[in-house]
Amino acid sequence: MIKLSPSILSADLSKLGEDVIALEKFGADMIHIDVMDGKFVPNISFGMPIIKAIRKISKLNFDVHLMIEEPSRYIEDFAVAGADIITIHYESDIHLDRTIKYIKSFGKKAGIAINPATPISVLECIIEEVDMILIMSVNPGFGGQSFINYTLNKISQLKKIADKYNPSLMIEVDGGINADNIKAVVDAGANVIVAGSAVFRNNEIEKNIRTLKEGI
């Protein structure tokens, strides 16, 4: 089953609660929450208080993507706030194995994200230990960017390795995905799709989710 995980980075923050409720009502499978610290990426976004607040109004799995330096410092905080999946960047943590185990110690699923220019090969030793790998198809830090086409090859490479070592792996792709390219991303091997602008565009959440799902 292909899951859609809309990124609330593109939501209307003046009515975030309403948008979160709409995502669940109109068929989103998860909610993607981009956490940025202004150091690992230039932008600053959501933190634990926002996650804790919207946790009260949604039963969907919270897919929390930590684009922050030294993420191990905050794992417990995000777990307590309501994260279901916690994803850290390969590029931001020098002790991946330790941090993955730490995430799982709180009963949460653990993921690793890699930037567009980071090769899949860096994940081969740890792929059996994680629940999800997130391939960034834009450079992290901002919404509304265009899809980087060479990441399709990375998705295919990861799918082959996952089939051999971790068949239940969630392969998530984030960045620039819309109705025009979602099928290519899924055909390459992705089974969790993050979409921000494509979901919240023109405040037509129901229509946009339906269009994306029809394109798979």
Binding site annotation covers 95? no
Residue 65 marked ligand-binding: yes
Is residue 111 part of an annotated ligand binding site?
no
- Between the alpha carbon of residue 56 and those of residues 16, 20, 49, 80, 109, the distances in Å are 13, 11, 11, 13, 20
State yes or no: 82 annotated in a binding site.
no
Tokens for 48, please give them. 């634990």
189 is in an annotated binding site: no
Catalytic residue among 37, 63, 93, 174: 174
Selected catalytic residue, list 19, 29, 34, 93: 34
* 47 is annotated as contributing to ligand binding: no
72, 99 in Cβ contact below 8 A? yes
Question: 27 a known binding residue?
Answer: no
180 among known catalytic residues: no
DSSP output for 60-108: SEEEEEEESSSGGGGHHHHHHHT-SEEEEEGGG-S-HHHHHHHHHHTT-
Q: Check whether 105 is labelled as a binding-site residue.
A: no
Annotated catalytic residue 131: no
Q: Which residues of 134-161 are buried (b: 16+ CB within 10 A; e: fewer)?
A: bbbbbebbebebebbeebbebbebbbeb
- Residue 163 marked ligand-binding: no
**φ/ψ (deg, to 5) at 116:** -55, -40
| Binding residue numbers for substrate | 7, 65, 141-144, 174-176, 196-197
| Binding residue numbers for a divalent metal cation | 32, 34, 65, 174
| Binding residue numbers | 7, 32, 34, 65, 141-144, 174-176, 196-197
Catalytic residues: 34, 174
